[in-house]
């Protein structure tokens, strides 16, 4: 991604790989050509400012976003993790095509930064609680298939898994808990076998 919290995701992925005792290779993508040359098994779309990501990701110099969306549609088996702004892009790609995670999402829906919060979440995907960090976070307005909700904050959906694409409105990369990053790496291994 051209802008956003890349480094904390890289740290979380490295930590997750270490916990799983696996070797992984991480590529930072800035242009469509970076995606083609790295041929990844899994994708992370980090948090940041979704307006900035859309603008510069669609810029002729980069063309990263159209390439990413096309790759995700062509590789439905490969896992994708989108956090915060990344979840917005998955639910609402605004490229004329179908959404990549079928849920309606509202940008910056809890208020301003002073309303940002942390709270305990329940995740059926991990089968345990998870420390949720919400920063100017988006909010799922509607999730058509409730079976796809895999993370809850009391009675509200905050994580949706649509086939292999996981959209989280919070920031697992800031929590020190690598559960979702481990899930991503394990899914990528299964697909690749």
Partner 1 sequence: MVKRVDFEQMRHGTELLKRGFAKMQEGGVIMDVVTAEEAHIAEDAGAVSVMALERVPADIRASGGVARMSHPDLIKEIIETTSIPVMAKARIGHDEEARILQELGVDMIDESEVLTPADPFFHIAKNNFTAPFVCGCTNLGEAVRRIAEGAAMMRTKGEAGTGNVVSAVQHARLVSSEIKHSQTIGSEGREEMVKIMMEEFRRINRLSSFDLSLNNTPFGTIEEIEAEVSSVLEEISKIGRLPVVTFSAGGISTPADAALMMHQGMDGIFVGSGIFKSSDPTNTAEAIVLATHHFEDASIVTEASAMIGEPMPGLEIETLDVRMEERGW
State the residues that interact with partner 1 by CB under 8 A.
2-8, 30-31, 47-49, 51-52, 55-56, 59, 61-62, 84-85, 107-108, 111-120, 131-133, 135-136, 171, 174
Beta-carbon-side half-sphere exposure of residue 35 (alpha carbons within 13 Å): 21
Q: 84, 153, 181, 182: which one is catalytic?
A: 84
Smallest gap, in angstroms, from Cβ of residue 10 to partner 1? 11
Instruction: For residue 173, indicate whether it is catalytic.
Output: yes
Q: Which is nearer to partner 1, 92 or 162 (CB)?
A: 92
Q: What's the distance, CA 136 to chain centroid?
A: 16
Q: CB of residue 149 vs partner 1: minimum separation in angstroms?
A: 20
Of 173 and 182, the one with the shorter C-beta distance to partner 1 is 173
Q: What angle do CA 28, 64, 48 make, to 5 degrees?
A: 65
- For partner 1, the closer of residues 171 and 187 by Cβ is 171
Minimum gap (Å) between residue 117 Cβ and partner 1:
5
For the record, the structure tokens of 101 come out as: 């995670």
Q: CA-to-CA distance for 81 and 76, rounded, in angstroms?
A: 13
Among this protein's residues, is 49 annotated catalytic? Answer: no
Given 9, 173, 181, 182, the catalytic residue: 173
Asked whether 163 and 102 are in contact (CB, 8 A), the reply is no
For the chain, the C-alpha Rg in angstroms (whole number) is 15
Nearer to partner 1, 52 or 75 (CB): 52
Where in 14-148 does DSSP place strands (E)? 43-45, 80-83, 104-106, 117-123, 128-134, 139-142
- Is 91 one of the catalytic residues? no
Which residues are designated catalytic? 84, 171, 173
């Amino acid at each position: 991604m051209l802008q956003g919290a890349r480094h904390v995701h890289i740290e979380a992925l490295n930590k997750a790989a270490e916990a799983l005792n696996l070797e992984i290779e991480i590529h930072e993508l800035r242009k469509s050509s970076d995606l083609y040359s790295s041929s990844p098994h899994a994708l992370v779309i980090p948090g940041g400012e979704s307006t900035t990501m859309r603008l510069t990701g669609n810029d002729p110099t980069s063309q990263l976003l159209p390439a990413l969306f096309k790759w995700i549609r062509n590789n439905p088996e490969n896992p994708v993790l989108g956090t915060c702004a990344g979840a917005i892009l998955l639910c609402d790609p605004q490229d004329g095509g179908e959404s990549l995670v079928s849920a309606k999402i509202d940008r910056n829906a809890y208020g301003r930064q002073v309303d940002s919060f942390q709270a305990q979440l329940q995740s059926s995907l991990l089968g345990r609680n998870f420390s949720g960090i919400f920063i100017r976070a988006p909010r799922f307005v509607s999730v058509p298939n409730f079976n796809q909700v895999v993370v809850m904050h009391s009675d509200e959906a905050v994580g949706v898994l649509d086939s292999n694409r996981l959209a989280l409105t919070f920031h697992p990369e800031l929590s020190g808990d690598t559960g979702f990053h481990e899930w991503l790496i394990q899914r990528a291994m299964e697909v690749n076998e």
